[in-house]
């Protein structure tokens, strides 16, 4: 007897949440908080917000971390699920694609849903850069450099951003500083409007001063001016262009989302925040890893038959301002286009590496709810060692208005 087959079905983003993002280091608000406990907090909050979901119906927990050791190790998808109180029957695993870890958690489990092997999953990511600095414990093979497989600058993300400036001389430091100021301002406006709070779960924290409660992102600097940024040092190159002001910082935080088959979401009465159209990852020269979102997006547009003009909302991870501007310049999109990062981005709120992909998705789903006139949105990010990842989503409440 031949095995039965399952036709592809729609994958939907049900809900997403994140912890407030903190500053990495001994003075950061999560200095004495475990990374796995941050993940637990997001999983529990998703279940609290969606009580119609029986935890036993969860088929998988996929959690990403770039540095998988210590409190981010031990197959964190499984351990976080147990710690969060999920039934022991719910499996889990860990995943790594550096900055696109959470994005890959989503696309990997979404593939299982589309193929009919999962009904409901939790996917997300965590990075506690205070406990685990980028590259901690890594031992790059010496042949990378000895055999000239990559340029030495490829191993330092700030250097790759300086290289991208070299490739795009029209993207000046003044432009990146102006973009960074705009990110801070947009984030501050979104926060004051109450849009950011809806995406956060408060986290109890502990420090030498006692117990506290993290309710807001720690990195933002409202009121930042271009004049302020012009005074900052360029640590990656003398008289360079990358500074702490036009790049994301070193951060701690976690994200998680519920994904489901659209039929299962209807069956269980789960909300549908957005519908996945497709995804693509693409490799590029590691020395200019920031260009990765461009070929990844080109690849996905070709697969889906869509055009960049069809995209009504963009959520682009702001690892560096130059990387976002290179994407916009490629597509002829203005630096201040209102479709792009409406609520600011990682330059303001932070970028805890493997967690950020789900932050982009969570914000896009909330923006879709405010914009029934927009049909398609895009989440994209550059990835260390020379990659880019893009996911296109469809607004379930699109009403066809123009």
Q: How confident is the model at residue 74 (pLDDT cuts 50, 70, 90)?
A: very high
The active-site residue out of 99, 128, 165, 349 is 99
Is 128 a residue of the active site? no
- Give the model's pLDDT for residue 402: 45
Mean pLDDT, residues 152-175 taken together: 95
Q: How confident is the model at residue 7 (pLDDT cuts 50, 70, 90)?
A: low
Is 351 a residue of the active site? yes
**pLDDT of 400 higher than 80:** no
pTM for the whole thing? 0.96
The active-site residue out of 128, 132, 165, 351 is 351
Enter the tokens of residue 361: 């998705």
Mean pLDDT, residues 205-212 taken together: 84
Is 330 a residue of the active site? no
- Give the model's pLDDT for residue 209: 76
Mean pLDDT, residues 308-329 taken together: 98
* Greatest mean pLDDT among 3-17, 141-155, 344-358: 344-358
Q: How confident is the model at residue 124 (pLDDT cuts 50, 70, 90)?
A: very high
Enter the tokens of residue 58: 């969860």
Mean pLDDT, residues 384-389 taken together: 96
The active-site residue out of 131, 132, 349, 382 is 382
Q: What is the pLDDT of residues 29-55, one digit of tens each?
A: 999 999 999 999 999 999 999 999 999
| Domains detected in the chain | 150-194+277-394 (3.40.47.10)
**pLDDT of 3 higher than 70:** no
């Amino acid at each position: 007897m031949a095995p039965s087959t399952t036709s592809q079905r729609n994958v939907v983003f049900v809900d997403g949440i994140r912890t407030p993002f903190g500053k990495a280091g001994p003075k950061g608000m999560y200095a004495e908080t475990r990374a796995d406990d941050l993940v637990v907090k997001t999983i529990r909050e998703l279940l609290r917000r969606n009580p119609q979901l029986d935890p036993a119906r969860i088929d998988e927990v996929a959690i990403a971390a770039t540095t998988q050791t210590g409190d981010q190790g031990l197959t964190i998808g499984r351990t976080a699920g147990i710690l969060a109180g999920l039934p022991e029957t719910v499996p889990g695993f860990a995943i790594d694609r550096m900055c696109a870890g959470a994005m890959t958690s989503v696309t990997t489990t979404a593939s299982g849903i589309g193929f009919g092997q999962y009904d409901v999953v939790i996917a997300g990511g965590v990075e506690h850069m205070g406990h685990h600095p980028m590259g901690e414990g890594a031992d790059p093979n010496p042949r990378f450099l000895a055999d000239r497989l990559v340029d030495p600058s490829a191993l330092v993300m700030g250097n790759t951003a300086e290289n991208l400036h070299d490739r795009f001389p029209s993207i000046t430091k003044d432009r990146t500083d102006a973009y960074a100021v705009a990110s801070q301002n947009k984030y501050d406006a979104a926060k004051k409007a109450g849009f950011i709070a809806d995406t956060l779960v408060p986290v109890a924290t502990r420090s030498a001063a006692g117990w506290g409660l993290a309710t807001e992102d720690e990195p933002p600097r409202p009121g930042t001016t271009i004049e302020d940024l012009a005074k900052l040092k360029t640590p990656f190159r003398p008289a360079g262009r990358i500074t702490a002001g036009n790049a994301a910082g070193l951060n701690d935080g976690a994200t998680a989302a519920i994904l489901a088959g659209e039929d299962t979401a209807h069956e269980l009465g789960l909300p549908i925040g957005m519908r996945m159209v497709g995804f693509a990852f693409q490799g590029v020269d590691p020395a200019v890893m920031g260009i990765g979102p461009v070929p990844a997006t080109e690849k996905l547009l070709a697969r889906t038959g869509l055009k960049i003009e069809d995209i009504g909302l963009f959520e682009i991870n702001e690892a560096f301002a130059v990387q976002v501007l290179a994407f916009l310049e490629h597509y002829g999109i203005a630096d201040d286009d209102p479709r792009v990062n409406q609520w600011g981005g990682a330059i303001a709120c932070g970028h805890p590496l493997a967690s950020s992909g789900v932050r982009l998705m969570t914000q896009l789903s909330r923006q879709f709810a405010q914009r029934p006139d927009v049909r398609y949105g895009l989440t994209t990010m550059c990835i260390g060692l020379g990659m880019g990842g893009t996911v296109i989503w469809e607004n379930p409440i699109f009403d066809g208005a123009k």
